[in-house]
């Protein structure tokens, strides 16, 4: 197993080096002088006043890996600075996004898990609520954004609502499935011992359904992190999604690529955390 992991890690490193090499060869031509090579002194000064770096990349071109590395170091070396509404450190932007995701996701847990238990334990509740779930589940979370903005009239709270609405359905469906799939033998033993419904839910059903519930939570978190970026692009203000859109408006492709990579890394870490938690509650015979 260790040998396989070592080989997989080595292959990943080689693939990364290959991608970086191809990227460097594709972008190095003409990048030596940067955008400043064909600009007058006045144009360079004007670009710097507008918050752009003429030497960061050739005009209209794709940044090289080295330029991206410099940009990443600049952001990561001062992640918490705050120079106003449109100029905040990357850690502050990530903090706003993670706070919105955490709040919307937490509210979804409070609704989806108890309701999933009810649906999973009651065939009547399942048949009554299933049509509503099947109609609402396929709706794109961003389709709710105009209604949320009109009703709530607050962009930050609307973003949290969108996270809530997209996180509910995977958790709800997986919780109901996990609860309904608990082995009948265990439930029969609990019934024979005259275990109270509340004790049965916490001591029998919850441990048995926990891996499936965590699967739903893991899927929901992945969707929530994906949606918050798009939602922040629409509502603006703060957050990593707004940062991407703002840097695109500033024509800073290097910052956009850095933010995209950072979004992917944070999403991977969130998924790994839920994967570890799911493994911890999974019983292996």
CATH number at residue 244: 1.10.3720.10
Report if residue 132 sits inside a domain.
yes
Domain membership of residue 45 (yes or no) is no
What is the mean predicted confidence (pLDDT) over 138-160? 86
Report whether pLDDT(93) > 80.
yes
Q: Hey, how many other C-beta atoms are within 10 angstroms of the C-beta on 223?
A: 17
The C-alpha torsion from 94 through 98 and 100 to 103, rounded to 10°, is -160
The pLDDT, as a whole number, for residue 63 is 84
Supply the pLDDT for residue 57.
44
- How far apart (Å, rounded) are the C-alpha atoms in residues 140 and 107? 19
Structural domain boundaries enclosing 209: 90-280
- On the question of pLDDT at 204 being above 90, the answer is no
Higher pLDDT, 119 or 201: 119
If one counts the domains in the chain, the total is 1
- Asked if pLDDT for residue 216 goes beyond 60, the answer is yes
**Residue 38 counted as domain residue:** no
The yes-or-no verdict on residue 71 having pLDDT over 50 is: yes
Q: Is residue 51 part of a domain?
A: no
Confidence at residue 119, expressed as pLDDT on a 0 to 100 scale: 92
* pLDDT per position as a tens digit, 99-114: 999 999 999 999 999 9
C-alpha count within 13 angstroms, C-beta hemisphere, residue 175? 26
Confidence class for position 32, pLDDT limits 50, 70, 90: very low
37's tokens: 């090579």
- Residue 271, domain member (yes or no): yes
Quick check: 36 and 55 in contact, CB under 8 A?
yes
Instruction: Read off the pLDDT of residues 121-146 as tens digits, 9 standing for 90 and up.
Output: 888 988 999 899 999 888 888 888 88
pTM of the model: 0.80
Residue 14 lies in a domain: no
Domain assignment present for 147: yes
Residue 53 maps to a domain: no
* Residue 222, token pair as written in the block: 């992945």
* Mean pLDDT of the chain, nearest integer: 83
Residue entry with tokens 């009703």? 151
pLDDT score for 58: 46
pLDDT of amino acid 274:
92
Alpha helices in the chain (DSSP H): 2-28, 41-49, 65-77, 90-121, 123-136, 145-152, 155-180, 184-192, 197-200, 206-235, 240-249, 253-280
């Amino acid at each position: 197993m260790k040998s396989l992991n070592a080989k997989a890690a080595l292959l990943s490193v080689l693939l990364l080096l290959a991608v970086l090499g191809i990227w460097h060869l594709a972008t190095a031509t003409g990048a030596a002088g940067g955008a400043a090579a064909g600009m007058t002194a006045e144009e360079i000064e004007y670009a710097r006043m507008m918050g752009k770096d003429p030497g960061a990349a050739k005009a209209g071109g794709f940044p090289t890996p080295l330029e991206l590395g410099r940009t990443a170091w600049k952001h990561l070396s001062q992640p918490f600075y705050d120079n106003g509404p449109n100029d905040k450190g990357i850690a502050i932007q990530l903090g706003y996004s993670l706070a919105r995701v955490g709040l919307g996701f937490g509210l979804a847990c409070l609704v989806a898990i108890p309701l999933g238990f009810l649906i999973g334990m009651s065939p009547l509740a399942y048949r009554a609520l299933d049509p509503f779930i099947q109609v609402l589940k396929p709706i794109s979370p961003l389709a709710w954004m105009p209604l949320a903005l009109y009703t709530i009239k607050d962009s930050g709270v609307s973003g949290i609502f969108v996270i809530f609405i997209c996180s509910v359905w995977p958790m709800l469906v997986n919780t109901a499935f996990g609860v309904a799939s608990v082995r009948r033998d265990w439930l029969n033993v609990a019934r024979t011992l005259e275990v109270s419904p509340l004790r049965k839910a916490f001591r029998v059903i919850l441990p048995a359904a926990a891996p499936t519930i965590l699967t739903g939570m893991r899927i929901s978190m992945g969707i929530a992190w994906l949606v918050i970026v798009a939602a922040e692009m629409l509502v603006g203000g703060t957050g990593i999604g707004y940062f991407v859109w703002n840097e695109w408006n500033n024509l800073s492709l290097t910052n956009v690529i850095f933010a995209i990579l950072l979004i992917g890394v944070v999403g991977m870490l969130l998924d790994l955390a839920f994967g570890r938690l799911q493994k911890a509650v999974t019983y292996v015979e």
